[in-house]
Amino acid sequence: MDQAKVTGPAGTGASQAEIETWLAQLELSPESNLIEVLQAVQERFGYLPPAALREISRRTKTPLSRVYGVVSFYAQFYTEPRGRHTIRCCRGTACHVKGASRVLDAVQRALGVTEGETTPDLKFYLETVACLGTCFLAPAMMIDNQYFGRLTPQRVVSILRSYGLEQ
């Protein structure tokens, strides 16, 4: 059996045995609500490790292809570890005309990742969005639930440092 560690966003690892033990507590059955189970697993491990998906499939007697189908249908689920902090840089029109691409460049350079990636230390996950709904703050970004606006490349770096960027 594969005992390789899987790593969650907070840097905690879980072996396949730990995943199995934890899932056993959920007392899964074919009647289990698959979406609720996936949400619980993602909350526990920070993402959906493949070992957990296989185990869910086995315990709920749901074809693995169907489990993956549900995971890929809902944007809330992800199968790769994500950073502890999620950064959402806006690439909408209002932000674009106010220099959003320079802001995004600065974030990418500071973190050493591009959108859709997590930093190797699992501190940050970077993505772009079409509009954050705060166009009056353009150019804007969010870190977790916090909005930041009227950004400049310099300001972005100091904000990231306040979230633990080491540079």
Contact set with ligand FES (CB under 6 A): 90, 92-95, 131-132, 134-135, 138, 140
Nearest to 150 by CA among 162, 138, 134: 138
Q: Which residue is nearest to ligand FES (CB)?
A: 92
Residue closer to ligand FES (CB basis): 51 or 100: 100
Residue nearer to ligand FES on the CB measure, 81 or 92: 92
If the CB atoms of residues 83 and 92 are measured against ligand FES, the closer one turns out to be 92
Quote the least distance from Cβ 153 to ligand FES, whole Å: 16
For the chain, the maximum distance between any two Cα atoms, rounded to a whole number of angstroms, is 54
Q: How far is CA 9 from CA 31, 45, 78, 114, 163, in A?
A: 30, 8, 12, 17, 15
Provide, rounded to whole angstroms, the least separation between the CB of residue 149 and ligand FES: 8
Indicate the residue among 52 and 103 with the shorter CB distance to ligand FES.
Answer: 103
Q: Which of 129, 50, 116 is nearest to 89 (CA)?
A: 129
Single out the residue of 126, 35, 21, 19 nearest to residue 73, CA to CA.
Answer: 35
